Amino acid sequence: MSNPLELLTGPEAATLPKTALKGLPGGAVPGFRCVVDQVHDRPGAETSVGYDVHYGLPGQEEQDYLVATTAQVPSAAEVQAGETTVRVWRHPSDPLLTGLAEACTAGVISSWLPTPPDPQALAGEHAETTEMLVYRPLRRAVLRTRRAGETFFTKVVRPDRAEALFRRHELLSGLGPDVAATPVPGVLVTAEVPVETLAVALAAWQLGETDVRPNPADALALLDRLPTEALEFPARPSWTDRVDLHGASAATTLPQCAEEIRAIAQEIQDLAERLPVGPLVPTHGDFYEANVFCADGRPQRLIDVDTVGPGRREDDLACMVAHLAVLQDFSPQHYPRGAEVADTWARAFEQTVHPGAFRTRVHGLLLSLVSGAEQATALARLDLARSWTWRARQAA
């Protein structure tokens, strides 16, 4: 099979949505224009791409959003591209996220939400708005609804994964987001956590807007509050466990560095296999500054608890530090002391786990963050990964 990423984003990619619209290979579509909007490449699994599509005669132009995937999914148009069969559908009719079409239908989310404290406040023209925050084809979507001073998040997952998602939220009641509704299979609505993210708290301290410096000890204490019942969920592979796939994806992003990236991924695997790690403990699974919420600058709550389950503490801590390490490059105006913060938190975390195992996992997380980034950003993250190569070797 040809490279799926090249197939769905290369020079001939526009023929896929055009064929799906017309139903015939090579069929003419008046005024057809197509732009790649989002790419979701999962080496070893599937590649999915979203396209903004415009077509029609002048003055009668229509717009669609089409998604094409190499995954074998039902209820989608099939387009043959050489030896590869590509499935195409019109958003939001995702063939595996069966609740998404309803969630994107005007007025439906309103009917799912609890009655507002003041119904009169909904009378204004812009009293309620809903927007799509995340859409990962075939996997998940997140929408945000704001109304009369309240904010809700609607998560859409595959129906067969909905029960586990609800159980996690129920188990983390008071620590994670509060569940507002479970209206249809595969849909969970949560209320906004009414405090600021760790990212905002860190920026406020670095910009001198507050004297309260978020403390890594509070982040450790937050992880300690994860209930032991989380160990009953199925274990998921960590970022380090999948470094071969993340390395392959990073090499696709930076083909000029592919050989070096493969060597880095192999070294991460070798170090991870021989360095000691702690026992299985309840973990968040995606523990970083955007998923941690603070009260008065102190980490207190968690969101995105979909990945809570058994794992290694080293992986949660490495996830946090790797994300902190890229903040300064991501937004230097908000995080002028980002590198200092990342180093401070790393030193604190190393007091609780094996430094070599921890640094190896930071190294792996940084490599995963290369994937899909713009070239300048990807190169900066690869450079950070190089620096953590040296740190991991020193600790090993």
pTM recorded for the entire structure? 0.89
**Other beta carbons less than 10 A from residue 251's beta carbon:** 22
CA separation for the pair 374, 376 (Å, rounded): 6
Q: What is the pLDDT of residue 338?
A: 96
| CA angle (276, 282, 288) in 5-degree steps | 85
Q: What is the pLDDT of residue 117?
A: 67
Distances (CA, A) of 249 to 130, 157, 245, 386: 33, 24, 6, 17
Q: What is the pLDDT of residue 122?
A: 60
Q: What is the pLDDT of residue 30?
A: 87
In a 13 Å sphere around the CA of 201, the CA atoms on its Cβ side amount to: 23
Partnered with residue 347 across adjacent β-strands are none
Q: What is the pLDDT of residue 356?
A: 96
The ranges of the chain with pLDDT < 50 are: 1
Reference 386, options 295, 263, 274, 277; nearest CA is: 263
CA separation for the pair 75, 236 (Å, rounded): 29
Q: Count H helices, E strands: the chain?
A: 13, 15
Q: What is the pLDDT of residues 292-315, one digit of tens each?
A: 999 999 999 999 999 999 999 999
| CA angle (116, 122, 123) in 5-degree steps | 150
Partnered with residue 147 across adjacent β-strands are 128, 150
CA separation for the pair 61, 109 (Å, rounded): 29
Partnered with residue 67 across adjacent β-strands are 50, 89
- CB-CB contact of 206 with 336 (8 Å): yes
Axis crossing angle, helix 258-274 with helix 243-253, rounded to the nearest 10: 160
Q: What is the pLDDT of residue 221?
A: 98
In a 13 Å sphere around the CA of 27, the CA atoms on its Cβ side amount to: 12
In 350-374, which ranges are continuous DSSP H helix?
355-368
Q: What is the pLDDT of residue 275?
A: 95
